[in-house]
Amino acid sequence: DLCAQLYGKAVRRRLLKYYRSRNLRKRVPAKVIRVGNIVAGGTGKTPMVRWLCKHFSDRGVSCAVVSRGYGRKRSKNDVTILNKSAHSRSWLDVGDEPYMLCRQLPDTPVLVGKNRYKCALEAIRHFGSRIIVMDDGFQHLSLERDLDLVLLDCERPFDNGHLIPLGKLREPISHLVRADVFILTRVPSARAEQNIRSFLNFVFPDIPVYGCFPRPVAVKQCLSEKRDPPEFLRNRDVLAFSGIGNPSSFAATLESCGARVRKALNFPDHYSYSAKDVNNILKEAKRAGVEAIITTEKDEIRLPSKIEIVKQFYCLVIEVQFTDEAEFCEWLDGRIGI
């Protein structure tokens, strides 16, 4: 396809431009970790960013998150700083993912802006951050990194193997040679994980591979702090709705909790829900005869806050769980030097 060929040429030309000119690449006086992927859509980057920040915070190392703020509707400031005192802001100003990270990591500053170099400098200047974690940063070449952490969905690591628009690849598979470590996400079984590990070890023998999966930790009532254990979903008929990059993975996670997903409603990524959408979801739930309506943490943020969400609405709280956590932590700390 001509469009895919032109897209591929543009990607290679851009990469070559940055690697030929040191003036285009800037370094900051902190360790920079870029979390990214090569497939458009959800691979669990934001939960991984949260895991990294908690990991370093638990070790007494100050870190900050920098993000472009995809999906933000209003503020286009150079740098917008989110911290525990900035909850009065709307997700529309900064994007749903940075806003969610700010709520989940109250002691970690989140800086949003198109210029990630400026964001990193502000984090160092204002908060003394020693580690900068860049959300969705594999294609961001202007800020020099100390570690490129690339996530690959264990189910479809390269989608159909074609570049955009024929497939979902943001750049050729061969470009994964830039990665410092591969993280296989949504590991469904030891066998599936081993098959992909074997492929990566053969093609990229010098790059280590680790595996992880989303571990449900709670079911939270939307727009409140009431929580139940994941067992709350067992043997319940539910309607699932989401506006994320990979909605099928959300349904699979619900089913792993024992939920019976009777109806799934998929919205565009970063979708801003209206009161009308909520009413339509309620009608679909009534039609399907379900006991609960459940969504993701990212979608909860985008629900209209000025209306009362009925008690049927829940969101699934997940955390990243590594299949080999002790080994990965040892490798990570050694690589970053803490």
Query: Mapped to the 3 state alphabet, what secondary structure does 90-136 carry?
Result: CHHHHCHHHHHHHHHCCCCCEEECCCHHHHHHHHHHHHCCCEEEEEC
What pLDDT is recorded for position 75?
A: 58
Q: Residue-wise over 163-178: b if at least 16 C-beta within 10 A, else e?
A: bbeebbbbbeeebbeb
CATH number for the domain whose boundaries are 215-319:
3.40.50
Q: Do domains 2-207 and 215-319 have the same CATH topology?
A: yes
Note the helical H segments in 257-310.
275-288, 297-301
How far apart CA 230 and CA 250 sit, in angstroms, is: 14
Q: What's the rounded Cα separation, in Å, for the pair 218 and 211?
A: 22
Which tokens belong to 22? 């040191």
Q: Does the bond joining 165 to the residue before it have cis omega, within 30 degrees of 0?
A: yes
In the chain, where the domains are located: 2-207, 215-319
Distance, in Å, from the CA atom of 296 to the CA atom of 273, rounded to the nearest integer, reads 13
Contact indicator for 227, 317 with CB cutoff of 8 Å? yes
pLDDT at 69: 87
Q: CATH top-level class for 2-207?
A: alpha beta
Residues 296 and 270: their CA atoms lie apart, in Å, by 12
pTM here is 0.92
Query: What pLDDT, on the 0 to 100 scale, is given for residue 162?
Result: 93
pLDDT tens digits in sequence order for the chain, 338 residues long? 789 899 999 999 998 898 788 788 999 999 999 999 999 887 889 999 999 999 999 999 999 999 998 877 665 667 888 876 655 578 888 899 999 999 999 999 999 999 999 999 999 999 999 999 999 999 999 999 999 999 999 888 999 999 999 999 999 999 999 999 999 998 877 777 888 999 999 999 999 999 999 999 999 998 888 999 999 999 999 999 999 988 888 999 999 999 999 999 999 998 999 999 999 999 999 999 999 999 999 999 999 876 667 778 999 999 999 999 999 999 999 999 98
Q: Which amino acid is at 149?
A: L
Distance of alpha carbon 211 from alpha carbon 183, whole angstroms: 5
Q: How far apart are CA 300 and CA 312, in angstroms?
A: 13
Q: What pLDDT does residue 90 have?
A: 82
Give the pLDDT confidence score for residue 1 in this predicted structure.
78
Residue 43's pLDDT is 82
Residue 110 is predicted with a pLDDT of: 96
What is the model's pLDDT at position 145? Answer: 95
